[in-house]
Structure 1
Amino acid sequence: MNDLTLLSHMDDKQYLANLADQLYTRNLLDENRNLTLAESSEQDFLELFFLEKIFHPDKQLSPHTVRAYRSDAKTLLHFLADHSLSFKDIGFPEVKAYNRYIKEKYAVKSAKRKLEFFRRLLDFGYETQFYKAHLSTWITKPVYKKGHHIIEETRNEKTQTRVQVRELSQKDAEYLISFFPKIVKATRNREQLEKRNLLIGYLLYTTGLRASELLSLNWGSFRYNRKGHLYADVIGKGNKPRTIPIREETMEMLFNYRKSIGESTEVNIEDTNPVFFPMYNKNLPITNKKRLTYPALYKIVKEAVHLAGRNTKITPHWFRHSFVTLLLENDVPLAIVKDWAGHSDISTTNIYLERINQDDSHVHLNKVNLFR
């Protein structure tokens, strides 16, 4: 833990005195007592960038977000190392070269995220006088098609593309979920693993949970409302809480799984044990459970997809898109779908509705008598 990070554990009076002292000692304050990194080392620049703009103590980042930031930082560091550049060397040519490198090497969504990380770093450098010019103005991000689509080239000799929707039909989703328990090869805890995998499939499909949200579920995340219906309370993207109703079929799978691992099926909101965990131990129930990781979840879905002989591009997130689309196709109000899905803006939910309306356009056209 660095010196500046340690300051966050002090009281207000100590914090101010120690922060000012450290910044003066390291020549990081200008004559106006503003933060300046004009003469700072690259280590100070990076330390303060991550402390102030990325891993701020007041921010609660998901493990997925932390991994993404680390990946973006690593990409930039490798580029600089490959070109024998330091952070101080970055200017207009380097910004344009890195911009081009990212757009050529990465898919649109990843490229946008990595360039946004680069933009934030350059802006912080300009704000703190580490850079004398506003270099981020020269970054141009690739255009990303809104919605849940995959853009694939259809011909090698031309740039023509086709759009494939990243979701499953109701029939395909049900068929694919049936393979989740079938991928279990282990003999130890076989029944428990099969029930766990089946529950994962049901939760992905019937709740629209993001992978990180599903993996963060504790037994205490579930509760009954006043009418006796089961709900799950989750903390979603941007640390926003939301409540999702649990269908009867999924509830049955949940309780079957709980029974199989020797746990109580009585809902207890104080229980912080993870719902999903690896089952390497011989005996159940397992104490000191470690939470199932995203790579393990991803592997479950991919193996089920392979065994079912379905599209190899399918990931856990496809079930979320399918959930939202099916709700809207069955006339669940847009505002309710937005809340269940945890969309920050209703315009995101509306993208699904626009595509559904496009798919149904022939219905409206056939209502019109175009010929006498």
Structure 2
Amino acid sequence: MVIGMEELLKQFLEFLSVEKGLARNTIESYRRDLKSYLVFLRSQHIPDIKFTSKTTIISYLLLMQKSGKASSSISRACAAIKSFYHFLVRERYIQEDPTVNLDTPKLEKKLPRVLTVEEVERLLEQPDTSNPLGFRDKTMLEVLYATGIRVSELISLTVDDVNLDMGFLRCLGKGSKERIVPIGSFAVNYLRQYINDVRKKILKGKSTNILFVNHMGQALTRQGFWKIIKKYARKAGINKVITPHTLRHSFATHLIENGADLRAVQEMLGHADISTTQVYTHITRTRIKEVYDKTHPRA
């Protein structure tokens, strides 16, 4: 019996949700990656997943590389494709798994862009704290740089997730894993004033437990925050490419530059694997070399 590729994808996603119990964001990531793969198969006039091979998959991954996709995106797509084929074998839709012994193409790992301490200071100075939304923006930027949490975690925070007296916040990371992250004194001070006074002015009588709200009293979106941080980066005269993760990367790099323990940084960032955190040690080594080359008289 031939089942359409879209139907197979639907069954796989249901398997991830019902039997594996994966988080909604993780399942959505699988859906996007595999949708793109199916589009590629159709472009190659492959009508059924049974007619694919290891060569087919490698061709797709190399096409992603030529298209300028980040190595992390290609690795994630490879993992999704492998899981999909494992499922198809399990369901006996195909007999052989073409991803057996398939290695992700060796790709150059790009170092994340980070801001200097001086650039972070300029960025944090940009919001106009004399109006409620500007004060909210200032507080969000302070919290991001103070904690290194992801933007998705920031916009999901509730008022109950913040303990100002103890100086920490609770957030749910990837895979719905909860972690406790300390907050610096600057961020605590802004959070206290925001929660006790400013947030009420933005809500205008509306009720919600979401910590950071927009002018309609609703949770901010990731895209909405991205626009906010890009606006302040322009005002600060920062010409680097800014992403929602820029302050997270800067947080980790500045901690390690100042002697923080790598395991502690891993815990704060919520990385499952220490190798993910180690990228920031490469950044600091690169920056040290740049400083040496610029300042040593015989460099």
TM-score for the superposition, normalised by structure 2: 0.82
Is the contact between residue 136 and residue 198 of structure 2 (CA under 8 Å) also seen in structure 1? Answer: no
Q: Which amino acid aligns with 1:100?
A: L
Shift of 1:361: 6.9
Aligned equivalent of 2:209: 273
Confirm whether residue 46 of structure 1 aligns to residue 29 of structure 2: no
Confirm whether residue 120 of structure 1 aligns to residue 83 of structure 2: yes
SS at match of 1:136: coil
Confirm whether residue 311 of structure 1 aligns to residue 273 of structure 2: no
Aligned equivalent of 2:295: none
Aligned counterparts of 1:362 and 1:277: Cα–Cα separation in 2: 41
Is the contact between residue 328 and residue 334 of structure 1 (CA under 8 Å) also seen in structure 2? Answer: yes
Confirm whether residue 98 of structure 1 aligns to residue 60 of structure 2: yes
Shift of 1:255: 2.2
* Change over 3 Å in CA distance of 1:336–1:94 after alignment to 2: closer
Confirm whether residue 253 of structure 1 aligns to residue 190 of structure 2: yes
Aligned counterparts of 1:74 and 1:200: Cα–Cα separation in 2: 34
Aligned equivalent of 1:195: 135
Q: Which amino acid aligns with 1:177?
A: L
Shift of 1:359: 4.7
SS at match of 1:55: helix
In structure 1, stretches of 5+ residues that fail to align are: 1-38, 150-164, 185-189, 264-270, 281-288, 365-372
Decide which moves more: 254-263 or 198-207.
254-263
Decide which moves more: 198-207 or 120-129.
120-129
* Change over 3 Å in CA distance of 1:193–1:354 after alignment to 2: same
Aligned counterparts of 2:50 and 2:280: Cα–Cα separation in 1: 45
* Change over 3 Å in CA distance of 1:142–1:316 after alignment to 2: same
Q: Which amino acid aligns with 1:310?
A: I
Aligned counterparts of 2:291 and 2:236: Cα–Cα separation in 1: 33
**Structure 1 segments of 4+ aligned residues over 4 angstroms from their partners:** 357-364
Aligned counterparts of 1:249 and 1:352: Cα–Cα separation in 2: 24
Q: Which amino acid aligns with 1:261?
A: R
Aligned counterparts of 2:52 and 2:38: Cα–Cα separation in 1: 15
Aligned counterparts of 1:145 and 1:243: Cα–Cα separation in 2: 33
Confirm whether residue 222 of structure 1 aligns to residue 162 of structure 2: yes
Confirm whether residue 87 of structure 1 aligns to residue 25 of structure 2: no
Aligned alpha-carbon RMSD (Å): 3.1
Q: Which amino acid aligns with 1:196?
A: R
Q: Which amino acid aligns with 1:273?
A: N
SS at match of 1:262: helix
Aligned counterparts of 1:168 and 1:122: Cα–Cα separation in 2: 41
| Equivalent residue in structure 2 for 1:293, among 210, 221, 242 | 221
Aligned equivalent of 1:157: none
Q: Which amino acid aligns with 1:133?
A: E
In structure 2, stretches of 5+ residues that fail to align are: 202-206, 293-299
Shift of 1:40: 5.6
Aligned counterparts of 2:132 and 2:215: Cα–Cα separation in 1: 8
Query: What per-residue deviation string (whole Å, max 9, x for no partner) do you get for residues 332-364 of structure 1?
Result: 333322222222233433442354356557999
Shift of 1:274: 0.9
SS at match of 1:198: helix
Aligned equivalent of 1:241: 178
Aligned counterparts of 1:333 and 1:68: Cα–Cα separation in 2: 31
- Which has the larger Rg? 1
* Change over 3 Å in CA distance of 1:333–1:113 after alignment to 2: closer
Relative contact order: is structure 1 or structure 2 higher (C-alpha 8 Å, sep ≥ 6)?
Answer: 2
Shift of 1:198: 0.7
Aligned counterparts of 2:36 and 2:262: Cα–Cα separation in 1: 39
SS at match of 2:245: helix
Is the contact between residue 220 and residue 272 of structure 1 (CA under 8 Å) also seen in structure 2? Answer: no
Aligned equivalent of 2:95: 132
* Change over 3 Å in CA distance of 1:338–1:80 after alignment to 2: closer
Q: Which amino acid aligns with 1:248?
A: S
Q: Which amino acid aligns with 1:213?
A: E
TM-score for the superposition, normalised by structure 1: 0.67
Aligned counterparts of 2:167 and 2:208: Cα–Cα separation in 1: 18
Structure with the larger helix share: 2
Decide which moves more: 204-213 or 99-108.
99-108
Is the contact between residue 338 and residue 349 of structure 1 (CA under 8 Å) also seen in structure 2? Answer: yes
* Change over 3 Å in CA distance of 1:90–1:272 after alignment to 2: farther
User: Number of paired residues?
Assistant: 285
Decide which moves more: 100-109 or 239-248.
100-109
Aligned counterparts of 2:220 and 2:290: Cα–Cα separation in 1: 45
Shift of 1:298: 1.1
